Amino acid sequence: MLVTHTDEKEWWVNLLNRTIEGFANLIDSLVDLIDVDGGEESDTFRRTRPTQLTELSADQRDRMAAFVTERIDYARRTMPLTEHEWAVWEAGARKCYELVGVPWPGEVVKVPSPVVGALAPPIAESVIRQLGKSKSGISVESAVRSAVDSAGRSVPSVGDTPLAGEALYQAVRDVIDATPSGVFRSAFDGMPATPMYEEIHSAVSRRMLRTCFYEAFEPVLYAVPDVDTAIRTPLHAAVCAVSSAKKWRIPLAGRSQVGFDVGWAFLRDVAALDLDHETRENSLVIENSQSAGCWWPFHEFVVVCGLPTELHTETVDGSSRLHNADGRAVRWGDGWGIHAWHGITVPCDLIENGWDAKRIMAERNAEVRRCAIEHIGWDRFVTTAGFKLIDQAPDPANPGQVLRLYNVPRSVLDHRARILLCVNATTERSGTRRVYALSVPTTCRTALAAAAWSFDVPEQAYEQLARAT
Amino acid sequence: MTAEFNSIEDGALAQWEFDADVPVLAGAQRQGDVLVLPAQVAATTVVPTSGTAVLVGENAGNSHVIYAADGPAYCDIVTPYFENLRIATLTVPVGSTAYLGHAEHGYMGIAPGNYEIRRQREMAARVRMVAD
């Protein structure tokens, strides 16, 4: 990956600014939620309207669960959009252009996967530049073809997916066709601000807002994996591999990104909030601009991605995260996708082929390294990587089985830990016993202490276990 | 939760009846990544005949479920966090027996008394619960 120092710095400053902005917004809303407890209203900075919504009717409360399920299905959808749904998206995107005061470009470049959408504009830009420079007229077709081929070599995930390469070729052609002047600029890089939120805020009580936050927004948020964040790093890396990092544009949200809009939608659609017609329409239309996949608005054209075709998740402690041990965790129409191990985005070959100890140790990202180890299994890794056995002890109430404590070299994990290998007390149907590994803190000096720590009980108590199965 | 448990594991559980092979004990017992530990607690929620799932397995995996036999038992579900691994409290009145059932690990008989049920944890960059 070619990232110059200044580009990288700029990217980080950009990210930092966004993060600070995000935190400021979050703190604002939290302060709103917290500072008046018990549902009292403060009128100091809020104009109270006579029809302010303060509670839900029994019927509205009953519809809460159905609303949540519907929004979860909406965000997790893996069926392609219909003609009509695309028209709804387009009307929403048009409205966003209108709100920021940029004329609607009319040219919609639909791409099957986010990587195609992220790569097409920078590749088109370089092709246009190259065509302008060259005197011996190369055809657009061959210039695009060679640029896409070279992108396939720089970005293996595209190179290994023939359909993505084909889609990229088509998208680059579309972008070039949409820009006769040969120059294009980003139209806006965030959702347009409207007075809508203040309008909605003033129409609901804080207690209502809190209900909405905990009962409508949070359940949806926890049930939908954060695909947009998971694809950001691979997309950024792909753009940096084919052009300057300056060409990286963070896509606008698609339907898989759950924002507090869910709360607004509940108030608007289910709670029949008293809003003027324009506010109601605006909030609906802006939401529609996020009803397809992620998108990139330009002055000359708009690039938009379709919905994924596969989504593999697991639910842990009540929240959903991406995970697929056998293939892509998210896959789009052209076959491009990302791999994830228990919520962590990992390289393709880790899942598809599995890494050996040497490859694992060469991985620089500790989180990915841990995923790779878990993928082959700590028990196997501990023995093949030759970790030092510190202590072993009979497993209480598990006759014949031994607890083994190993030291993990500092180079393996980014935190100090030891590994305790345990053998199941129950045999599998095949007659074998499953071996599993637990990572424990280095303060555990013996195997027994490590097992006791895992249940947070005194060593003596664990030693006196009456029965284990 | 319990409905899910029943539909997935009814068949598997059928081979395990509450028979004499399952010892009923008052001490600490471990079932896979779940520990039953005598404690000074008092649970108040009645365990229904379908059982109370104290830990639902990941991805349609196996759940650990408390059943009451011979009389009522009480089990309250608690949300664990890294400093407190308690996932449930259990009260078995004199005259009753509680069973902790799991499709792979079978049954564990729990004698009258008060218990807490703990989940296992491990050390990650941050401490996390073990996903069975």
The stretch B82-90 carries a mean pLDDT of 85
Closest CA–CA distance from residue B107 to any residue of chain A (Å): 8
Closest CA–CA distance from residue A70 to any residue of chain B (Å): 21
- Please enumerate residues of A whose Cβ is less than 8 A from a Cβ of B: 314-317, 342, 366-367, 370, 397, 414-415, 417, 424-426, 428, 438-441, 454-457, 461-462, 464-469
Chain B residues in contact with A319 by the CB 8 A cut-off are none
Of B27, B35, B130, the CB nearest to A464: B27
Cβ contact A313:A343 at 8 Å: no
Task: Specify the pLDDT at position B125.
Answer: 54
Contact residues for B50 (Cβ-Cβ < 8 A; gap 6+): B2, B3, B5, B6
Q: Do A415 and B123 touch (CB under 8 A)?
A: yes
Token pair for residue A404? 């083994």
Token pair for residue B53? 């799932």
Among residues A214, A228, A226, which one has the least CA distance to residue A263?
A: A214
Q: How many other CB atoms are found less than 10 A from the CB of residue A388?
A: 10
Most A CBs within 10 Å, among B123, B126, B127, to test the A interface? B123
Task: Specify the pLDDT at position A276.
Answer: 82
Q: Do B121 and A415 touch (CB under 8 A)?
A: no
Q: What is the pTM of this model?
A: 0.68
Q: Do A469 and B121 touch (CB under 8 A)?
A: no
Whether the per-residue pLDDT at B114 is higher than 90: the answer is yes
Query: Poorest-confidence range of A45-49, A146-150, B47-51, B52-56?
Result: A45-49
A84-117 as b/e: b if 16+ CB within 10 A: ebbebbbebbbbbbebeebebbeebbbbbbbbbb
Task: Specify the pLDDT at position A2.
Answer: 43
Q: Which residue of B has its CA nearest to A429?
A: B104
Among residues A416, A418, A436, A414, which one has the least CA distance to residue A426?
A: A436
Most B CBs within 10 Å, among A455, A457, A464, to test the B interface? A455
Of A415, A424, A454, the CB nearest to B122: A454
The two beta strands, B113-119 and B86-92, are antiparallel
Q: Does residue B130 sit at the A interface (CB-CB below 8 Å)?
A: yes
Band (pLDDT 50/70/90 cuts) for residue B131 is low
- Mean pLDDT, each 10-residue run in order, chain A (469 residues): 53 65 63 51 48 82 92 94 95 92 93 96 92 78 92 91 93 92 87 75 84 90 91 91 88 89 87 82 87 94 96 85 92 94 88 85 78 84 84 92 88 79 82 80 92 92 91
Cβ contact B126:B49 at 8 Å: no
Task: Specify the pLDDT at position A41.
Answer: 47
Backbone angles phi, psi at B29, to 5 degrees: -135, 145
Task: Specify the pLDDT at position A310.
Answer: 95
Burial of A451 (0-12, 13-18, 19+ CB in 10 A): buried
